[in-house]
């Protein structure tokens, strides 16, 4: 199987995800695959109730975005690992992943949901 174009797609996506993650958080210095959300500090003395509520909403959103990107990055990294060790196109359950699924999403699994 020719993995060249899938590898390119995966690497491009990984780069984008890392850029996005850098925007909402920072890389854990001791665990490069782990990202921590970064929030602007709350100033409780000068913040009104409304400002606090806005802030918490913003924090929740940041956390949700960060979780989404981080999960996706893990999938992309796992797929790139399969490219490297020559098992790309095989699902973790052992079945072949249909090519049209890989065309649509280069980090896809087969229909098993793993």
By CB under 5 A, tell whether 110 contacts Zn ion.
yes
93, 96, 99, 103: residue in contact with Zn ion (rule CB under 5 A): 93
| Interaction residues for Zn ion, span 1-40 (CB under 5 A) | none
Q: In 3D, which of 42, 27, 13 has the Cα closest to residue 108?
A: 13
What DSSP line would sit under 36-89, residue for residue?
Answer: EE--PPP-TTT--HHHHHHHHHHHHHHHHHHHHHHHHHHHHHHHHHHHHTT-TT
| Interaction pattern, residues 52-91, with Zn ion; x per rule: CB under 5 A | ---------------------------------------x
Residue 107 CB, shortest distance to Zn ion, in Å, is: 13
Identity of the residue, 42 or 112, whose beta carbon is nearer to Zn ion in the bound complex: 112
């Amino acid at each position: 199987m020719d993995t060249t174009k899938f590898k390119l797609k995966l690497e491009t996506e990984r780069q984008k995800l890392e850029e996005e993650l850098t925007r909402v958080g920072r890389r854990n210095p001791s665990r490069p695959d782990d990202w921590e959300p970064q929030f602007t500090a709350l100033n409780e003395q000068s913040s009104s109730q409304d400002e606090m509520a806005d802030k918490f909403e913003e924090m929740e959103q940041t956390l949700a975005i960060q979780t989404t990107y981080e999960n996706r990055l893990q999938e992309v990294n796992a797929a790139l690992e399969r490219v490297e060790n020559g098992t790309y196109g095989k699902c973790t359950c052992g079945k072949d992943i249909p090519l049209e699924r890989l065309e649509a999403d280069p980090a896809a699994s087969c229909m098993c949901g793993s």
